[in-house]
Chain A
Amino acid sequence: DAMVIQNPRYQVTQFGKPVTLSCSQTLNHNVMYWYQQKSSQAPKLLFHYYDKDFNNEADTPDNFQSRRPNTSFCFLDIRSPGLGDAAMYLCATSGVDHEQYFGPGTRLTVT
């Protein structure tokens, strides 16, 4: 089945220790997104890629970076995680119809 995969599902990191989250897709969609979602809040868009064209939201902290080495993979790097970065990180993809399909998410805990 075509899908969006995220690894790891749960990540625990220490305050200030860099962490990388990964996302892969078999849908062959050209757009990939990273969202941050905290409890009882809507998903907050951090970045998106249209093919290799990178776009970050104006309020995305510099602490967050992203890479998309090819169509199938996308990475989210948090250079120095703070306690406020603890959240669910969601990867999504979309095609020409703009329907976004989400991966299962990575729950990040910062200690």
Chain B
Amino acid sequence: QKEVEQNSGPLSVPEGAIASLNCTYSDRVSQSFFWYRQYSGKSPELIMSIYSNGDKEDGRFTAQLNKASQYVSLLIRDSQPSDSATYLCAALTDSWGKLQFGAGTQVVVTP
């Protein structure tokens, strides 16, 4: 089993709707998670980090962590065409900061 798994998509979302992205993880990762956005041909950009159970909101983004079910999700409210990108879920795997990335979910927001 891969340590961090995401659906590759593409996830097609109408403009203005909520995009829901999911990520599951194995016991071998720690309990700190990160969501990155990556536009085609660009480098990953940190959107949010989440370390404890529950929800964390930042603008139109909400990260949710459920340790019992071993998943972390990202909600994008009021999706805009500029949100079209690949979203990478990453989990901290040891104390010095190594991240295990998922393969990424491509999101396409259609006008």
Contact = CB atoms under 8 A, between A and B. Distances in A.
B61 interface: no
A14 interface: no
Nearest to B106: A40
A101 to B, nearest CB: 6
Interface in B31-90: 32, 34, 41-46, 49, 88, 90
A104 B43 contact: yes
Given A41-B103, A42-B103, A97-B49, A103 B98 contact: no
A43 interface: yes
Most buried by A among B32, B49, B96: B96
**How many interface residues does chain B have, given as a range?**
20 to 34
A28 interface: no
Interface string A85-107: 00010100010011111111101
Contacts of A107: 41
B18 interface: no
What DSSP secondary structure best describes chain A's contact surface? Answer: strand
A48 interface: yes
B92 A98 contact: yes
A108 interface: no
A104 B42 contact: yes
Nearest to A97: B49
A105 B42 contact: yes
A73 interface: no
Contacts of A50: 96-97
Most buried by B among A90, A98, A101, A102: A98
A45 interface: yes
Contacts of B45: 102
Interface of A: 31, 33, 41-43, 45, 48, 50, 55, 88, 90, 94, 97-105, 107
Interface of B: 32, 34, 41-46, 49, 88, 90, 92, 96-99, 101-104
Given A50-B96, A50-B97, A100-B99, 6 more contacts: A42-B103, A48-B97, A99-B46, A99-B49, A102-B43, A104-B43
